[in-house]
Amino acid sequence: MNKDYFDIESELDGEILLEQEVTPDGVEQFQAWLDTAIREGAKTPTSFVLSTSTFEGKSSSRVVNLRRIDEQGLYFLTFYESRKCRQILQNPYVSGLFYWPELGRQVRFEGTVIRVDDETNNKLFARCNDTQQLAAWSFPQSQTVPTRKYLETLMDDFREDFGNTKKIARPSNYGAYCIHPQMFEFWQAHNNLLHDRLQYTLFNGTWKIERLAP
């Protein structure tokens, strides 16, 4: 097989991104861009690629969902036995990528990640909808399973077990992690390839803003 894709071009052209028009805080700037993506109808605006690695540097990536932002950082929910969590135990430094093609924007970020306390975990799990809570009980994430029917049966069994339970407790093997960002890069696409790239780097609690070449 021998095929190239030079004739496929993306039409991504947004407003010029200038240093004097962004906020001085990286998390606040990210929140502003995320709010815009949601308001403009971007598909799956809270989904991002999370990359983790082992102590040997062997990396893996997957799409996860952002569940919360606060002054501490960015939160996602997962199973503690998952590959990502095993790698986090070996190397707590992670990176992530949000991409909103409808706006011609992407945000890269890097930082350290920690598992949150049970009280916060329970509050976040309570915000999940019924299907999400049921899935947390049903799925042996990342483990080998015989068939799709096996997973469907697990969900049906747990659905029957919980019945009309109004409040489903969080399973002990499921919870949240918080990423404390130390770097953000905001990228705005332009059709002339003169893309804007502003990098925020955290030094002693203060964000330094620099422009990078496309």
User: What digits encode the pLDDT tens for the residues 175-196?
Assistant: 999 999 999 999 999 988 899 9
Structure tokens at 94: 């992670």
Cα separation, 196 vs 18, in Å, equals 8
pLDDT digit string, tens, across residues 22-71: 999 999 999 999 999 999 999 999 999 999 999 999 999 999 999 999 99
Global confidence as pTM = 0.91
pLDDT at 39: 97
Residue type, position 107, single letter: V
Over range 167-172, report the average pLDDT.
89
Contacts of 157 (CB under 8 A, 6+ apart): 138
Which CATH superfamily includes the segment(s) 19-127+172-211?
Answer: Electron Transport, Fmn-binding Protein; Chain A (2.30.110.10)
DSSP 68-108: EEETTEEEEEEETTSHHHHHHHH--EEEEEEEETTTTEEEE
- Residue 117: what pLDDT? 95
**For residue 198, what pLDDT band results from cuts at 50, 70 and 90?**
very high
pLDDT digits (tens, 9 = 90+) for 44-57: 999 999 999 999 99
Query: What mean pLDDT do residues 136-145 have?
Result: 84
How much is the pLDDT for 138? 87
